[in-house]
Chain A
Amino acid sequence: MGLVRNFYRTTVGKKVVMAVTGLILVLFVIGHMGGNLKFFAGIDAATGTHKLDHYAAFLRTMGSELFGHAGVLWMVRVGLLVAVLLHVVSAVQLSRLSMAARPRSYAVQSFRSATPASRSMRYGGMFLFVFIILHILHFTTGTIHYQGFEHGRVFANLMSGFQPWYVPMLYVIAMAALALHLYHGVWSMFQTMGVTSPAWNNGARCIAKIVAVILFVGFSSVPLAAHFGLVEGDNTPTAMAAIVER
Chain B
Amino acid sequence: MKLTLYVWRQKSAAQEGEFRRYDMQEVSPDSSFLEVLDLLNEQLILKGEEPIEFEHDCREGICGCCSMVINGRPHGPKKLHTTCQLHMRNFEDGATVYVEPWRAAAFPVVKDLVVDRSSFDRIIQSGGYISVNTGSAPEANSVPIGKEVIDTAMDAATCIGCGACVAACPNGSAALFTAAKISHLGLLAQGQPERYDRVLRMVDQMDKELFGSCTNHGECQEACPKGISIKYISMMNRDFIRATAARVMDPKGAMKAQ
Whether, in the assembled complex, B22 has its beta carbon less than 8 Å from a beta carbon of chain A, the answer is no
| A-chain residues with CB within 8 Å of residue B206 when the two chains form the complex | 11
Judge if A184 is at the interface, Cβ distance under 8 Å: yes
Question: Contacts of B104 on A, CB cut-off 8 Å?
Answer: 101-102
Pick from A13, A104, A114, A184: contact of B103, CB under 8 Å: A104
User: Which residue of B has the minimal Cβ distance to A188?
Assistant: B216
Instruction: Kindly state whether residue A98 has any CB partner on chain B within 8 Å.
Output: yes
Complex interface residues of chain B between 93 and 119 (CB less than 8 A to chain A): 98, 100, 103-106
Contact code string A171-195 (vs B, CB < 8 Å = 1, else 0): 0000000000000100110011111
The answer to the question of B28 belonging to the interface, with a C-beta cut-off of 8 Å to chain A, is no
A194 to B182, CA, bound (A): 14
Structural contact, B231 and A119, CB atoms closer than 8 A: no
Of A16, A105, A112, A196, which one neighbours B241 at CB under 8 angstroms? A16
| Contact, CB under 8 Å: B247 / A3 | yes
**Cross-chain contact of A193 among B214, B215, B237 (Cβ < 8 A):** B237
A contact residues around B217 at 8 Å (CB): 111, 113-114, 118-119
Asked whether any CB of chain B lies closer than 8 Å to the CB of A106, the reply is: yes
Which residue of B105, B210, B215, B230 is within 8 Å of A118 (Cβ)?
Answer: B215
Residue of A nearest to B233 (CB): A191
B55 within 8 A of A: no
Cα distance A105–B219 when bound, in Å? Answer: 15
Residues A107 and B100 in contact in the complex (CB < 8 Å), given A98-B215, A112-B219, A113-B218:
yes
- Interface size of A by Cβ–Cβ distance < 8 Å? 45
- Is the beta-carbon distance between B238 and A194 smaller than 8 angstroms? yes
Flag the segment in B34-42, B44-52, B67-75, B134-142 that touches A: B67-75
A10 to B241, CA, bound (A): 11
B239 contact set on A, CB distance < 8 A: 194
Main secondary structure of the interface of B (DSSP, over half): mixed
Count of interface residues, chain B, beta-carbon cutoff 8 Å: 48
B232-256 at interface with A (beta carbon < 8 Å): 233-241, 244, 247-248
- Residues on the A chain within 8 Å of B72, using CB: 106-110
Given contacts A101-B172, A191-B233, contact A3 B213 (CB under 8 A): no
CB-defined interface of B200-239 with A at 8 Å, one 1/0 digit per residue? 0001101100111111111101110000011101111111
Residues of the B chain whose Cβ atoms lie less than 8 Å from the Cβ of A197: 231, 234
Known A14-B213, A114-B218; judge A194-B241 contact (CB<8 A): yes
Q: Tell me if B29 is interfacial: C-beta within 8 Å of chain A.
A: no
From 3 to 33 in chain B, residues with beta carbon under 8 angstroms from any chain A beta carbon are 6, 19
B173 interface hit (Cβ, 8 Å): yes
A100→B105 CA distance, assembly (Å)? 7
CB closest residue in chain B, given A105: B103
List of A residues within 8 angstroms of B214 by Cβ: 11, 15
Minimum CB–CB distance from B178 to chain A (whole Å) comes to 10
Instruction: Flag whether A33 is at the interface (Cβ < 8 A).
Output: no
CB pair B103–A103 under 8 Å, yes or no, is yes
Are A12 and B248 in contact, with the CB atoms below 8 A? no
Instruction: Please state if B212 and A97 are interface contacts (CB–CB under 8 Å).
Output: yes
Is A215's beta carbon under 8 Å from chain B?
no
**Proximity bits, A69-96, B CB within 8 Å = 1, else 0:** 0000000000000000000000000100
Chain A: minimal CB distance from B55 (Å): 18
* B98 x A16 contact (CB < 8 A): no
- A195 touching B234 by the CB < 8 A rule? yes
Q: Can you identify 18 A-B contacts, CB atoms within 8 angstroms?
A: A3-B248, A6-B244, A11-B203, A11-B207, A98-B212, A101-B104, A101-B106, A101-B210, A110-B72, A111-B219, A112-B223, A113-B221, A113-B222, A193-B238, A194-B235, A194-B237, A195-B238, A201-B231
Task: State the B residues within 8 Å of A (CB).
Answer: 6, 19, 69, 71-73, 98, 100, 103-106, 170-173, 203-204, 206-207, 210-219, 221-223, 229-231, 233-241, 244, 247-248
Supplied contacts A6-B244, A102-B170, A102-B172, 9 more A-B pairs, CB within 8 Å? A15-B237, A98-B172, A106-B72, A106-B100, A110-B71, A113-B222, A191-B230, A193-B237, A194-B236
